[in-house]
Copies of this chain bind each other. A is one copy, B any other.
Amino acid sequence: MNEKQNINKDTFSTKNYVEEISNYLENYQNSKIDNFLNNTHNADIADVIQNLDPVLRLSLINIIGNKFDPEILTYLNDSLREEIVETLDIKQLANNAKELDIDDAVDLVEDLEKEDQDTFLENLEEKERTLIEEGLNYPEDSAGRLMQRQFIALDQFWNVGQAIDFLRNNKKNLPEDFYDIYLINPKKQVFGVVPLGRLMGSKRDVSLNKIKNKELRLIEVNMDQEEVAYLFSKYGLVSAPVIDNNKIIGSITVDDVVEVIEEEREEDILKLGGVGHTDIYNSVIDTTKSRLSWLIVNLMTAIVASIVIGLFEAAIEKVVALAILMPIVASMGANAGTQTLTVAVRALAVKELTPSNALKIITKETFIGGINGIIFAIIISLLSIYWFQDFMLGLIIGSAMVLNLIIAGFAGTIIPLALDKMKIDPALASAVILTTITDVFGFLSFLGLATLFLI
C-alpha cells in the first residue's frame, strides 16, 4: 500500500501540486503549507515556486521566511532565482547553508551580485568560506567549479579491512555521497579507483590494489565541463578524482555531470534557434533585448538578399512570374541546408565529425544535395511549366534548384566545420550564415539564369 503513495509522489505532478498550494495560500492554511514544505523534496518545492502565480509565489516565500533552504535556489531557473534572492535575507540564507554541498554553494554564490556575495560569504563558517572562495577561483564552466571538496582517498597499499575500518571510524567526516574510493600515495598522486560495491564484496585481507578499476580516468581541474561530461558519459563513470599539479584536490560525481549535460543540451537547442541564454521567466524587456541581436543580423542578411533581387528589377518587371517563383528556390535551399547543418553540428558535438573524415562527409553531403536537387528540380519544373505555360521558365527554375541544393549541402557542412576550426561554437552562428548563402545564391541563380536565357 505504502508503495502506491510513493509512486504518486515519484511521478510528481507539478500541476496538481500548484493548484493545491495555491488553494492553501489563498485560504491562509499555513499549517497545510508547513506540512507540504516539511515533506517535500527541495526540487519539488522549487518546481512549485516556479509555477505559482507571482503574487502567491511571494506569499509562499514569505511563509517559508527564515527557514528558506538555499538548496531550493539551486533547483530554480536562473532568472527566477535572481528575482527571489532579492526578496531574501542573505545573512539568514548563509546561516541556513550549513548542509549545502560546496559545489552547490559555489554554483549559488557565482550568480549572486557582488554585494550579496560578500554578505553571504561573511556569514559562513570560515572552513566553508575558504572552500567556496577557492572554488570561485577556478574558471567558469571548469571541473574546479563542479567538483566536491570532500572525497575518500586512502593509501594505495592498504587492504580491504583497513579501508572498511577507516570508513567506520571516520563516520562523521564522510562525504554525504560517495561511490568510489581513490587510492593515493603520500604525495597525493592518484593510482586507482575502487568502487564501493567491489570493496564490500571483497575479503578483509585483499589488497585494494588488486580490486581497483582496470582504467583510471583523472580530471584536470581546468578541464572544461563539457569535456568532463563527455568522459563521464563515454566511460559510464559514477565519480572521478580531480587533480591539480598531479595531486588530488576533489571529486566529481555523476549527478553534477547530469546537470551539465542538461545545461549543454539546452544551450545547443537555444543557440540553434537563434536565442541567447533565456527562459520563459525572463521579463519582457530582458527577453526582447536578448532576441534583438539575432533579429538585427537577420534583417541585414534579408536586406542583402533584397539587394540581390534589386539587381534584377528589369527582369522581374518583364516577367512577374519570377517574383512569384523565386521564394521557392531560396526556401528549398534554406531547408535542405538546415538539415545538413543540423546533422553536422550534432556530429561535431559528439565528435563523430572529425578532421579525419571531414572531406568525405562534405563530398557526401554535396552529392546528396545534388540528388535532392535533381528530384525537386523535376517536380518544380513541371509545376512551373504547367502554371505559367512557359517551358524555358521551367528549365531555368529547375537548374537554379539543382545549383542551390548543391550549394546548400556544401555550405551546410563546411560552415560548421570552419566555425569549429576558428573556435566559434558552430551551433551559434551556422544557421544565419547558411540561410544568407542559400537565399542570396537562390535568388542570384534563378534571376541570373532568367536574365541570361529568358529575357
Q: A residues touching B (Cβ–Cβ < 8 Å)?
A: 2-4, 6-7, 9-11, 14-15, 18-19, 41, 43, 47, 50-51, 75, 77, 164, 167-168, 170-171, 174-179, 189-191, 195-203, 215-220, 223, 227, 231-238, 243, 246, 254-255, 257-259, 261-262, 265-266, 268-270, 272-275, 278-281, 284, 287-288, 291-292, 294-295, 298-299, 301-303, 305-306, 309-310, 313, 316-317, 320, 322-328, 330-332, 335-336, 338-339, 341-347, 350-357, 361, 364, 367-368, 371-372, 375-376, 379-380, 383, 439
The interface residues of chain B lying within 8 Å CB-to-CB of A243 are: 3, 7
CA distance A3 to B189 in the complex (A): 7
8 contacts between A and B (CB under 8 A): A3-B189, A43-B234, A167-B200, A174-B198, A174-B200, A196-B200, A254-B255, A306-B327
A331 contact from B167, B227, B298, Cβ within 8 A: B298
The interface residues of chain B lying within 8 Å CB-to-CB of A14 are: 351, 354, 356
Closest to A330 in B: B327
User: 9 nearest interchain CB pairs?
Assistant: A273-B342, A323-B323, A236-B255, A265-B265, A298-B335, A196-B196, A302-B331, A302-B328, A167-B200
Whether A15 lies near B376 (C-beta < 8 A) is no
CA distance A328 to B339 in the complex (A): 23
Whether A15 lies near B356 (C-beta < 8 A) is yes
Whether B313 lies near A274 (C-beta < 8 A) is no
The interface residues of chain B lying within 8 Å CB-to-CB of A351 are: 14, 47
Whether A272 lies near B269 (C-beta < 8 A) is yes
Closest to A387 in B: B310
CA distance A235 to B175 in the complex (A): 18
Beyond A177-B195, A354-B51, is A273–B328 a contact (Cβ under 8 Å)? Answer: no
The interface residues of chain B lying within 8 Å CB-to-CB of A202 are: 168, 171
Secondary structure at chain A's binding surface: helix, strand, loop or mixed?
A: helix
CA distance A41 to B237 in the complex (A): 13
CA distance A354 to B17 in the complex (A): 13
Beyond A269-B269, A274-B338, is A3–B284 a contact (Cβ under 8 Å)? Answer: no
Whether B372 lies near A292 (C-beta < 8 A) is yes
Whether A233 lies near B262 (C-beta < 8 A) is yes
The interface residues of chain B lying within 8 Å CB-to-CB of A217 are: 6, 10
CA distance A297 to B200 in the complex (A): 58
**Distance (whole angstroms) from the CB of A327 to the closest CB of chain B:** 6
Whether A270 lies near B306 (C-beta < 8 A) is no
Whether B18 lies near A356 (C-beta < 8 A) is yes
The interface residues of chain B lying within 8 Å CB-to-CB of A171 are: 201-203
A302 contact from B268, B332, B372, Cβ within 8 A: B332
Whether B339 lies near A273 (C-beta < 8 A) is yes
A258 contact from B6, B232, B291, Cβ within 8 A: B232
CA distance A110 to B383 in the complex (A): 44
The interface residues of chain B lying within 8 Å CB-to-CB of A376 are: 295, 299
**Distance (whole angstroms) from the CB of A252 to the closest CB of chain B:** 13
CA distance A50 to B350 in the complex (A): 12
